[in-house]
Amino acid sequence: MKSEKVVVCGAGGFIGGHLVGDLLRRGFADIRAVDLKPFSDWFQRFPEAENKQLDLQSREACEKALQDAHTVYNLAADMGGMGFIEHNKALCMLSVMINTHLLLAARKFGVSRFFFASSACVYAADKQTSPEVVPLKESDAYPAMPEDGYGWEKLFSERMCRHFREDFGLQTRVARYHNVYGPHGTYDGGREKAPAAISRKVIQAKLSGNHTIEIWGDGKQTRSFMYIDDCLKGTQAIMQSDILEPINLGSSELVTINGLVDIVEEIAGIKLKRIYNLKAPKGVNGRNSDNTLIRHYLGWEPSTRLRDGMERTYRWIYDQIVKK
């Protein structure tokens, strides 16, 4: 199968860039990497791949992208951390055009496997009101009350994948990612997520000598964060599996935002005065991934310790900031 054409959509982004690199390392020889952004803005770009700049919201572009494709990973979406998705609901929902047009093109060209990157934001808000979380299991997505905007788009697109499989026989696979982090991602500009944002703030405090940090919310909200290597392994395992329903792909190592700041401070060798911005977007109060199903199907779950992944992420962001 390694000689068949694999198309990675959203390849200029964080996870897509890593996926192209990983596929090449694993011997996949025919990779098409597609993203909306100009090449200079891609986080990673590999000359061995066929790189294309296309706006996948258009059906015509999706047909260009998927011509001769055997396998398709859809990681393209207009997205970001809480700061972005709370203020850009229409833009988030417009990603529905990407997945819908990609599915239509995949059907037209007889694609063998199609992967969609969904999100823990599909889960009902009323199941995430307390920091003392009960981990979210896949069935908790219904009755539906997902994150407004971004979460609704993900839930709708999940169902499109399901119905394309049931009605047209297209082999779709869906993973619900829980907060992915690592090097080669967004760390400033408004789309960054907590691990990168906190790393950047700690680095800036360290370099400037202003030893304060602003934290969004009261810092008591809980989350789990999955290191990129686990995301890549899980994504490809789910793609190759017979898991037909959307499945959690996330770490179950729960941490408060304050705990995450502790980890980054320890890596940086610094202690900062914390200023809590209670008006900033902070998302749900608590969220964790129930990994019973992925353990059952794959005999595996994401296991990189947060401390280890954050060390690598911090070092990369530090290098980017001092290089500027």
Q: Does 232 bind ligand NAD (CB under 6 A)?
A: no
C-alpha 261/C-alpha 277 separation (Å) is: 15
Instruction: Report the length, in residues, of the chain.
Output: 324
Considering only residues 152 to 211 of the shown chain, the ones binding ligand NAD according to CB under 6 A are 177, 179-180, 186, 193
Q: Does 36 bind ligand NAD (CB under 6 A)?
A: yes
- Least CB distance to ligand NAD at residue 287 (A): 11
CB nearer to ligand NAD: pick between 100 and 270: 100
Count, residues near ligand NAD per rule CB under 6 A = 25
Closer to ligand NAD by Cβ: residue 38 or 143: 38
Burial (0-12, 13-18, 19+ Cβ within 10 Å), 165:
middle
Q: How far apart are CA 6 and CA 68, in angstroms?
A: 9
Among the listed residues 8, 15, 104, 255, the single contact to ligand NAD using CB under 6 A: 15
Distance, CA of 214 to chain centre: 24
Interaction residues for ligand NAD, span 92-131 (CB under 6 A): 98, 117, 119
Please tell me whether residue 56 binds ligand NAD under the rule CB under 6 A.
Answer: yes
Residues with catalytic roles: 150
CB 165, CB 172: distance < 8 Å: yes
Residue 32 C-beta: closest distance to ligand NAD, Å: 12
Under rule CB under 6 A, residue 14 binds ligand NAD: yes
CB of 104 to ligand NAD, least distance (A): 15
Other Cβ atoms within 10 Å of 39 Cβ, number: 12
CA angle at 236 for the pair 234 and 241, rounded to the nearest 5°: 90
Which residues, including other chains, have CB under 8 Å from residue 190's CB and lie 6 or more apart?
Answer: 80, 83, 84
> What residues make contact with ligand NAD under the rule CB under 6 A?
10, 12-16, 35-37, 55-57, 75-79, 98, 117, 119, 177, 179-180, 186, 193
